[in-house]
Amino acid sequence: MKRVIICGASSGIGKELAIVFASHGYEVGITSRRIELLNALASTLPTETYVRKMDVCDTDSAMQILTELLKEMVDVDIIILNSGTGHLNPTLNWMQEKETIYTNVLGFTALAGHSMNYFTGRKAGHLVGISSIASIRGIDSCPAYNASKAFMSNYLEGLWVKALKLKLAITVTDIQPGFVDTAMAQGDGLFWVASPQKAANQIFKAIQQKKKKAYITKRWAIIAWLLKILPSFLYNKI
């Protein structure tokens, strides 16, 4: 029996990933701050499901909860770090910037490092981080969000290199979604908005293929390429 843990599974992409993995026979561990939503989700899944309340901003507690979940599930193949937040914040409200940094940087780093050490001890495994197409360039309307996602992508690449040098059967995957129809999709001018179900199915395929990086949906690879080559004087007009 294969097993997966999804941190940030109460709604959106994380919830749909739990549904997809369970439909493919995986036992599923799910975490979130909203325990009532996790329990409701668990009651619908066809495989054994393990539920834990977790606030990734409380890093010490989050790592302890992950340790307990790993012990209870005995042998976990995949850990997906999906917890994240972000705000349109052109006024640079500090509380919103702080929440983004604590969740997407501190919380993510604590769990990513903890997961990597688990897989190193196991000598195999698959760590998946859900970053964003926003990781490629900074933007004035939500600078902390884009910067935090850039941190995530860079950190995941560092762990990928680490796994390569350790010569262990550890895969690290950076998932970079574009717009997905969740609470995170904010602002005007949204395009190519995917349903959480479609996004989750493409993410599942990318994980099964053990990709280093995947854009979700696939067409966002075009936008990623444009963002990387676009001169600053043109990008600044967006």
Amino acid 227: pLDDT: 86
Strand partners, 53: 32
Q: Residue 32: pLDDT above 90? A: yes
**Is 80 exceeded by the pLDDT of residue 90?**
yes
Q: How confident is the model at residue 209 (pLDDT cuts 50, 70, 90)?
A: very high
Residue 191 has pLDDT above 80, yes or no: no
HSE value, Cβ hemisphere, 13 Å, CA-based, for 2 = 13
For 102-130, what is each residue's pLDDT tens digit? 999 999 999 999 999 999 999 999 999 99
Residue 7 has a pLDDT of 97
> What is the predicted pLDDT for the residue at 75?
93
Q: How far apart are CA 29 and CA 51, in angstroms?
A: 6
Residue 189 has pLDDT above 70, yes or no: no
Q: Looking at residues 131-145, what average pLDDT do you find? A: 94
Asked whether the predicted pLDDT for residue 89 surpasses 90, the reply is: yes
Partners of residue 50 on adjacent β-strands: 29
Q: Which of 142-146, 166-170, 200-204, 223-227 has the lowest mean pLDDT?
A: 223-227
Q: How far apart are CA 30 and CA 28, in angstroms?
A: 6
What value does the mean pLDDT take over residues 91-100? 96
Specify the higher pLDDT residue, 226 or 184. 226
CA distance 101 to 103: 5
Strand partners, 80: 6, 128
Compute the distance between CA of residue 90 and CA of residue 142 in angstroms, rounded to an integer: 6
Q: Is pLDDT above 70 for 134?
A: yes
Q: Which of 5-19, 118-132, 181-195, 199-213 has the least mean pLDDT?
A: 181-195
pTM of the entire predicted model: 0.93
Kindly report the three-state secondary structure assignment for every residue of 139-203.
Answer: CCCCHHHHHHHHHHHHHHHHHHHHHHHHCCEEEEEEEEECCECCCCCCCCCCCCCECHHHHHHHH
Mean pLDDT throughout 3-16?
96
Q: Which of 111, 199, 197 is nearest to 155 (CA)?
A: 111
How much is the mean pLDDT over the chain?
Answer: 93
Domains and CATH numbers, the chain: 3-235 (3.40.50.720)
